Amino acid sequence: MAHERPIIRTADGECPTHLFTPSSGQGPWPGVILYMDAGGIRPAVIDMAQRLADGGYVALLPDLFYRHGPYGPFVPKEVFAGDFRATLGPLIATTGNDKAAADTAAFLAYLDGRDDVAGDRVGAVGFCMGGGMAIAAAGTYPDRFAAVASFHGGRLATDAPTSPHLLAPRLQAELYIAAAQDDASYPPDMAARFEAALDAAGVPYRAETYPAAHGWMKPDFAVYDQVQAERGWAELFTLFDRTLHVRG
């Protein structure tokens, strides 16, 4: 498997990324963008991008905290044991759904320039804060995304002008929304509001609540749940394989 470290120039600066390609088979392969969680780029997230590539994709993992400058890498179990808002707050403040969506123009242009990326439409997957970012990106560039998955994504339907649910009328991608139980960042009333927006816009989607805590997909989180994480990976690959036409 090839692992590259391209620097992608966006409207706001230079964004470091990790790029993985499958280690076997003949390309080109569909492209997938992974929108990170608030813990930033670290070994566990890099491994998740590699797993996407293992499944038959060109996987792009951008560092959405690039506007902040150097940081970490953080060890989530240590960060969340202390004042995580003091540690992560300054980094989170440098990005958001709107900024990540704007950055996506450069990510798409980069993937378009690669001979090993197939097709005009890509997939996106986001974790925690990245869930809303992935949806916002697909709503901003609706003709470029075939499928989007959000795992324990929070704040998907709020009164903020950058709330992902406001982009529902623009979405052309199929969505998979995997929520955590008892998640303060995505309570049942918010889920109902988000799904109502998708229903009104006629967006194809499937929403499930996993019997796991917020962050269950991340192997370096204290709440990691291997059984439910494997279920999530299976759902993700089922979605991408069907909509991006990877394996015959």
Cα–Cα distances in Å, from 207 out to 6, 31, 162?
A: 34, 23, 21
What is the mean pLDDT of the segment spanning 194-211?
98
Structure confidence by residue, pLDDT tens digits, 156-166: 999 999 999 99
Task: Using pLDDT thresholds of 50, 70 and 90, give the confidence band for residue 1.
Answer: low
How large is the average pLDDT for residues 88-100?
A: 97
Of the chain, the percentage scoring pLDDT greater than 90 comes to 96
Q: Stretch 78-92: mean pLDDT, rounded?
A: 94
Within the chain, where are the H helices? 43-54, 76-79, 84-92, 97-112, 129-140, 188-201, 226-244
Domain that holds residue 194: 2-244
Closest CA to 134 of 161, 86, 167, 160: 167
User: Which pLDDT tens digit goes with each residue over 152-196?
Assistant: 999 999 999 999 999 999 999 999 999 999 999 999 999 999 999
The residue among 21, 15, 101, 22 whose CA lies nearest residue 64 is: 15
Number of domains forming the structure of the chain: 1
Q: What is the CATH number of the domain that holds 208?
A: 3.40.50.1820
Give the three-class secondary structure for 136.
helix
Q: For residue 153, what pLDDT is reported?
A: 98
125 DSSP β-pair partners: 34, 149
Is residue 31 within 8 Å of residue 111, measured between CB atoms?
yes
